[in-house]
Amino acid sequence: MVEKNKDKLVKEITSMDENFSQWYTDVVSKTELVDYSPVKGFMVIRPYGYAIWENIQAAYDKRFKETGHKNMYFPLLIPESLLNKEAQHVEGFAPEVAWVTHGGNRKLEERLCVRPTSETIICSMYSKWLHTYRQLPYLYNQWCSVVRWEKTTRPFLRTSEFLWQEGHTLHETPEEAQEETMQMINIYREVAENVLAMPVVVGLKSEKEKFAGADKTYTMEALMHDGQALQSGTSHNLGQNFTKAFDIQYLDRNNEQTNPYHTSWGVSTRLIGGIIMVHGDDKGLNLPPAIAPIQVVVLPIAQHKEGVLDKAYEIKKALETNFRVEIDDSDNSPGWKFNQWEMKGVPIRLEIGPRDIKNNQCILARRDTGEKIAVPLDELETTLKELLDAIQQNLFDKALKMREEKTSVALNMTEFEKNLKENPGFIKAMWCGDETCEDSIKEETGATLRCIPLEDEQEILGEGKCVCCDKPADKMAYFARAY
């Protein structure tokens, strides 16, 4: 009976164990986060999905502003000649750039690229605006979409167009630029962990994996339920690569023309994919309260009975000031609603029926644990607040535990392959820094170097020898198969 019941509860969603990809596809479509558009690789973000994005945006935007950044907006189209100015950059992005060749019926003199990222156009403008060190630092950000022509696409994780933000800053000194780069990756991590409840490992990308045109790329990497890593945000120290290529100069404190130091950093709607795959389960979404579009859904029970709907609306109204709350007074059966809202990942369900009204209470059910409690109505607000906090914390704790369970150490390639097979996830291993080792690990195992943790999270494993070539290595790195 339990089994049968269980099957019934999740009939719309393939179970994770059976087929993780199908589970993901089912979840994003059945919960109406996205739909496929008429153009391959481009997805429609539906209201429920977009509301999640708006909450993520708000969390980041607030912190960007708090650290002195201002928003701006640059054009969608970039002349080919501009894109070509930074050699490594073009090389990196050329294969996935979309081109505009015609305006109306007329062929353009110069092709225009649909931005895959905006370093080039922004730098071209910065070079016009910057004159003196007194204007520095430049601290700007833009929220926009970018286009990268992808061969295989999956909602949120890889689509040909995606929404993101890109910060672009200029600084007087390399130290300041480095400080900014680190500040932003730390903000990324803080929001990922505290708002999205998504634990991440932070570190440096290898030369091979870094952003095209960067001196250094820092990344945060999250681990999904299937043991694959998801690059969830990157912060680049671009040095003077672009500022020289774009001739951005200013008169410095010594009255000399100088190129400033440059950073850029971005997070995208991919984060939503991360939230789905980190917290979701066989019932569907499981949204962290901090970004859930609906934190509490009010379900009137036996709503045709005298006073039930009135009471439900009264409760909704009272809660509206402090919570994102919705009421479901459709005439679907209660059981159907339970499952529907669980699938949608709403953190708390509030049931109010004749019995509760008589007792001046309501029932609260947690999405994360399934636990149900009766709460007196005059304690509702405080209890909800506590519960939402507890759910937020629990989601993080569970995700962290999952990551730790899926993180293993490998001292040689035999262990590496064994771990990856038996317990897919992050593999911590020493790396000599040689790209040939990085390549051969990828060749043999499919795992890539996700990041090299920062100093304070570094450790020496075993005798400090490279997992691949056995030569002395002073860096530990995280490896994983990745999205």
- Spatial distance between the Cα atoms of 68 and 137, rounded to a whole number of angstroms: 10
Q: Are 46 and 33 in contact, with CB atoms under 8 Å apart?
A: yes
Strands 261-268 and 161-171: antiparallel
Smallest gap from residue 140 Cβ to RNA (A) = 20
Strands 261-268 and 34-36: unpaired
Hey, which residues does 229 pair with through a beta bridge? 223, 482
Q: Nearer to RNA by C-beta: 136 or 351?
A: 351
Smallest gap from residue 74 Cβ to RNA (A) = 18
Of 288, 284, 309, 287, which is closest to residue 298 (Cα–Cα)?
Answer: 309
Smallest gap from residue 134 Cβ to RNA (A) = 34
Q: Nearer to RNA by C-beta: 21 or 173?
A: 21
DSSP 148-200: ---SS-BTTTB-SEEEEEEEEEEESSHHHHHHHHHHHHHHHHHHHHHTS---E
CB atoms within 10 A of CB 7: 10
Smallest gap from residue 19 Cβ to RNA (A) = 7
- Spatial distance between the Cα atoms of 189 and 234, rounded to a whole number of angstroms: 10
Q: Nearer to RNA by C-beta: 42 or 133?
A: 42
Query: What SS3 class is residue 187?
Result: helix
Q: Nearer to RNA by C-beta: 178 or 231?
A: 231
Smallest gap from residue 208 Cβ to RNA (A) = 8
- Work out the angle at residue 462's Cα, subtended by the Cα atoms of residues 461 and 468, and round it to the nearest 5 degrees: 80
Smallest gap from residue 341 Cβ to RNA (A) = 9
Q: Nearer to RNA by C-beta: 108 or 482?
A: 482
Smallest gap from residue 32 Cβ to RNA (A) = 11
439: tokens are 């390549």
Q: Are 447 and 408 in contact, with CB atoms under 8 Å apart?
A: no
The sheet carrying 70-71 orders its strands as 70-71, 138-147, 161-171, 261-268, 229-239, 216-223, 200-204, 448-453, 475-480, 426-431, 407-409
Residues at the site binding RNA, with contacts judged by CB under 7 A: 5, 8-12, 20-22, 25, 36, 39-41, 95-96, 148, 150-154, 157-160, 162, 164, 209, 211, 231, 234, 266, 268-270, 283, 301-304, 331-336, 338-340, 342-343, 351-356, 362-363, 365, 370, 372, 442, 446, 482-483
CB atoms within 10 A of CB 51: 17
Q: Are 243 and 170 in contact, with CB atoms under 8 Å apart?
A: yes
Q: Nearer to RNA by C-beta: 172 or 329?
A: 329
Smallest gap from residue 334 Cβ to RNA (A) = 4
CB atoms within 10 A of CB 383: 15
Q: Nearer to RNA by C-beta: 321 or 333?
A: 333
Q: Nearer to RNA by C-beta: 193 or 329?
A: 329
Smallest gap from residue 429 Cβ to RNA (A) = 19
Q: Nearer to RNA by C-beta: 234 or 263?
A: 234
